[in-house]
Structure 1
Amino acid sequence: MTKKPIPFPKNPVYLVGAGPGDPKLLTLKGRECLAKADVVIFDRLVNHSLLSHVRKDAELIYAGKCPDNHVLEQDQINAVLAEHAKQGKIVVRLKGGDPFLFGRGGEEAEYLREQGIPYEVVPGVTSAIAVPAYAGIPVTHRDITSALSIITGNEKPNQKKSKINWHCLVDNNKTLVFLMGRRNLPFIVAKLLSLGMPKESPVAIISWGTTPEQKTVVGNLQNIVDKADQEKITHPAIIVVGQVVKLREKLQWFEQKPLFGKRIVVTRPREQAEELADLIADLGGEPVMVPTIAIAPPEDYSLFDEALSKINSYDWIVFTSVNGVKAFFQRLGVKGYDIRMLFGVKIAAIGPVTKQELEKYRLLVDYVPAEYRAEAMIEDWKNRELSGQRFLLPRSDIGRSILPDFLRSKGALVHDVAAYRTVKAKTDYSFLYELLRRGKVHLATFTSSSTVKHFLDAFSHPSER
């Protein structure tokens, strides 16, 4: 009896390099692969924020490689890749750095080829170059060295003979970069010294490069082991040997940024968090995207639609947020109206960002308070004559009552309608729990009372506090 042939998978397995740690160093193609993946198998050193690019219905499998402790052994990882690929799924193998530089991506590609499974390699920014760069160390320099060797600091266990030609490495005009070498630092140093490399040769060891935990220790072959121990340098770490290390003193830049070393939680809705996250990253911090709220349409549009049908009867429309502006104009279009309906209506915006959103629709804003909150508008308008004036407030279903209450107390006619709902986001908090447990979160940002409420709700169980 002949075996039934295994169907040839229609989708390739993507071997994707995640980069060295900074999530912004993921390539555009890597991001595209994550966005379309059905299954993502990822390693321990992959920045978990990259998983935000993955669809919510995709399966995430943790391979968890760290020294002497693998959640999945390499043979198991290979089998998982093949199993899901043969089911016709789009599979991404997400690996730290570059998959073909000491990442065992070559072994995975060989296995897939043997199984008749197509694959594509998506190169990643390698830590061998990026981490020294973030420490202010160029691995080559025209006036110093034009040669670079990248060496594993952790060869295959139990092999009888080293595949490293150590004699070729002993060259004071060359830069040596050792990856995964923290545990073997004493051996590496002793080997280089024994072959005649000068003990004054500059050395840097950089742990957790390109992340808020980046730590750099500089010394020479004679003292770097003691210095690394004294400074409690841990893996993952990269060792750089060569004269280019001296350039760090004047070229270091990453550690000079004002938010360097800070990991900051952003709780805004995902589609609105990018601007704040970019600002944090530009200042040297690492944003952790943990959306606690989401924006949803109102359960009932009847009151909103009624207000829109007589929009030109209002004296004022007060927008309290960007979400209110977007919801207003989205519904205006659905109902077949346009901005000509707003002729003669005055516009107020609470805050410059809300004002900027309105200006996208070519609307001039008549009033913006100096402080970006309802209380400032109340203070400005406390002596205004508002009796009989008609106000429309298109805003969240859970908006505070302070502004409509004030307007009504002044005799205004107020229509406070739900243009959108603020709901609890479907967020996996496990990554945040782990960061908090390890003391790796430095700040959390909140832009509304609802972001605070749902953040605290996520820690309502005693075991999660």
Structure 2
Amino acid sequence: MKKNGVVYLVGAGPGDPGLITQKGLKRLESCDALVYDSLASDCFLDKVPDHCRKIYAGKRAGAHSMKQEEINRLLVDLAQEGLNVVRLKGGDPFVFGRGGEEISALLKAEIPFEVVPGVTSAVAALSMAGIPVTHRAVSRSFHVMTGHTVSENGTLPPDFDSFAKLSGTLVFLMGLFNLPLIVNGLIKNGKPACTPAAVIENGTLPQQRTVRGTLADIEERAKQAEIKSPAIIVAGDVAALDFSSTINLPLKGCRIGITGTDSFTARFNQELLSLGAITDSVLTLSIQSSRLGDEMKEVYKELRTYSWLILTSANAVREFFAGLLEGGYDLRSLGGIKFAVIGKGTESELLKSGFHADYIPERYQVKDLAQGLISRLTKEERLLIPRSAGGSPELNLAFDEAGVYYDDKVLYEVVLKEKEQEHMEKSLAPLHYLTFASASGVDAFFQREKALSLPVSLKVVCIGDITAKALSSYGREADLIASVYSVSGLTEVICQDWCRKKE
């Protein structure tokens, strides 16, 4: 009899991907199936293993693609297949997340489960807006109600009068549509019309907006500001306070689309978020390794015949050393070899394996690497270039012209990683920048979207001339080119352009 899997109810937090817990991320990274809501950030879809089955439950106000009973049954069925399942829910599973109903179904089916708490927007969105839910001598308590508890005929729930009479901070989640009803209900049940109030849109996200006023005018102020869902309503004296962050991040309000491998995307995403940017994973690539293929097996056997090892990317470093060890060899096989690399990222990755680069060109380009090496080589030296199947031919041309003896071996291939995502045109529309970190990424993007024309207003950023040249072959010129082949190089060129735009 097959053993049941485990269901993890994980709170994804209030919207900002950085506010999920480490435990929640750990569960995502090892699950076999993911059942997720539209309230969860799309970037979490990239955190799960390649084999993970991803199922959209579509829990959004007024547009549920699955009934709750269907979700309950789905969780049980997946676990009974022996899968470890993550049920990813916005905020916290027990704060209006119907996590209790799902657990009841799991208990009935005798499915083991674990709850991983999440940060609720009832606190986090207010904090990011500079509104403390409690404050000494101002508010000694806070109370949370869902804004969905309004009947079809437009009446407030029976206990609303008791809720309205509570002291402290009153918070209404998902209630923007019912703002007039809520405001009138609070005033009718004793709250002074001068009570401070606020409406917070897109809480914790870089595009968060806050409108402040009183119960007397908050409805009109929100209307004038064209506040849209998702939004949170706050009523109470703390809504008059403003403890917003005084740090002005350089990429605040900037929306950037990322294309690249999981490893690159994770590093780039982390750096951009730390600078206040909004990021979207537009297209994800994966590494299809050939490190233990027949060609590379032969290469590892003959390492002693090479004098230089040329590594043109961090991926090449990782794949080469992984193949070396998996093939039964170790670092002693590289005792007589010198290393040449392109870029600080590749140099840093090589150092993790215990080697300093013997040569790195001042300009991080293939042409400069070739020219610099040619001037250092003797006629007897033999070069090994293990790299991507789509490696630049400029290296080969330069070495061929100089009569250099080299072996160019396919170590891996960069391929498109299939995943669920919305229509590409829709995902590109809100972006300010679209980034490409390799020519392979450019090819994968345009081969997938053959008829797609990039918006004129969208600035395309490439990580060097070779990537820009690949982009040009598809009829679009790069708006920005990072001269430094690294995450920092891409970030710097975007920061400079975004700052000029704001001046």
TM-score of the superposition, structure 1-length normalised? 0.85
Matched, 1:164 2:159: yes
1:125 to 1:380, Cα distance in 2 relative to 1, 3 A: same
Give distance in 1, aligned partners of 2:308 and 2:451.
45
More off after superposition, 174-183 vs 98-107: 98-107
Q: Is the 8 A contact 1:82 1:117 kept in 2?
A: yes
- Structure 2 residue corresponding to 1:355, chosen from 327, 347, 371: 347
Helix, strand or coil at the partner of 1:267: strand
User: Which residue does 2:122 correspond to in 1?
Assistant: 128
1:391-430 alignment, distance < 5 Å: 391-418=383-410, 420-428=411-419, 430=421
- Aligned to 2:241, what secondary structure does the other structure show? helix
Deviation of 1:169 (Å): 3.6
**Which residue is equivalent to 2:64?**
70
- What is the SS of the residue equivalent to 2:276? coil
Higher mean C-alpha displacement, 238-247 vs 88-97: 88-97
Matches of 1:65 and 1:165, distance apart in 2: 25
The match for 1:99 is 93
1:217 aligns with 2:208: no
Partner of residue 3, structure 1:
none
> Are 2:266 and 1:252 equivalent residues in the alignment?
no
Deviation at 1:142, TM superposition (A): 2.8
Q: In the alignment, is residue 293 of structure 1 matched against residue 293 of structure 2?
A: no
Q: 1:14 to 1:463 in 2, by over 3 A?
A: farther
1:183 is aligned to 2:177? yes
Structure 1 unaligned regions, length at least 5: 1-6
Residue in 2 that maps onto 1:4 = none
Q: CA separation of 1:41/1:195 partners in 2, compared to 1, >3 Å: closer, same or farther?
A: same
Counterparts of 2:9 and 2:189, CA distance in 1: 38
Structure 1 letter corresponding to 2:430: K
Q: Does 1:31 align with 2:25?
A: yes
- Cα distance in 2 for residues equivalent to 1:431 and 1:80: 23
Query: What secondary structure does 2:87 align onto?
Result: strand
CA distance in 2, matches of 1:425, 1:448: 13
Which of the numbers 283, 308, 326 marks the counterpart of 2:318? 326
Offset from partner CA, 1:198-226 (integer Å, 9 cap, x none): 33322221112122432222222222111
Residue type matched to 1:416 in 2?
D
Mapped partners of 1:285, 1:321: distance in 2: 26
CA displacement 1:419-461 (0-9 Å, x = unmatched): x122322322533637427x33332221111101101122125
Match of 1:373 in 2: 365
Aligned residues with identical type, % of pairs: 38
The one-letter amino acid of 2:245's match is: Q
Determine the structure 1 residue equivalent to 2:47. Answer: 53
Q: Secondary structure at the match of 1:66?
A: coil
Match of 2:449 among 433, 436, 459: 459
Is the contact between residue 156 and residue 185 of structure 2 (CA under 8 Å) also seen in structure 1? no
1:357, distance to aligned residue in structure 2 (A): 1.7
**CA gap 1:231/1:273 in 2 versus in 1, 3 angstroms:** same
With 147-156 and 373-382 compared, the bigger mean Cα shift is at: 373-382
Look up the SS of the partner of 1:198 in the other structure.
coil
How far did 1:385 drift? 6.8
Aligned to 2:458: none
Shift of the alpha carbon at 1:372? 1.2
Q: What amino acid is the match of 1:251?
A: S
| Structure 2: segments with no counterpart, 5+ residues | 456-503
**Residue 168 (structure 1) shift:** 5.2
The equivalent residue for 1:345 is: 337
Partner in structure 1 of residue 430 of structure 2: 440
The whole-number CA distance in structure 2 between the counterparts of 1:91 and 1:323 is 30
Match of residue 138 from structure 2? 144
Code of the aligned partner of 1:375? K
Contact 2:292 2:327 in 1 (8 A): no
2: CA distance, partners of 1:65 / 1:221: 30
Kindly state the Cα deviation for residue 386 of structure 1 after the two structures are TM-superposed.
5.0
CA contact (8 A) 1:386 1:407 kept: no
Q: 1:349: Cα distance to partner?
A: 1.4
> Contact 2:288 / 2:413 at 8 angstroms: preserved in 1?
yes
Secondary structure at 1:293 match in 2: strand
The code of the aligned residue for 1:252 comes to S
The total of aligned residue pairs comes to 454
- Report if aligned partners of 2:174, 2:231 keep a CA contact under 8 Å in 1: yes
The Cα of 1:313 is off from its aligned counterpart by: 4.0
Aligned ranges 1:296-311 → 2 under 5 Å: 296-298=288-290, 301-311=293-303
Structure 1 position 279 matched with structure 2 position 274: no
Residue in structure 1 matched with residue 34 of structure 2 by the alignment: 40
The amino acid that maps onto 2:233 is: I
Secondary structure of residue in 2 paired with 1:274 = helix
Contact 2:386 2:408 in 1 (8 A): yes
Q: Hey, what does 2:186 align to over in structure 1?
A: 192
| Closer, same or farther: CA 252–205 of 1 in aligned 2, 3 Å | farther
* TM-score (norm: length of structure 2): 0.79
Task: Provide the rounded CA distance (Å) in 2 between the counterparts of 1:150 and 1:274.
Answer: 35
Q: Partners in 2 of 1:334 and 1:403 — Cα distance?
A: 28
Q: Secondary structure at the match of 2:151?
A: coil
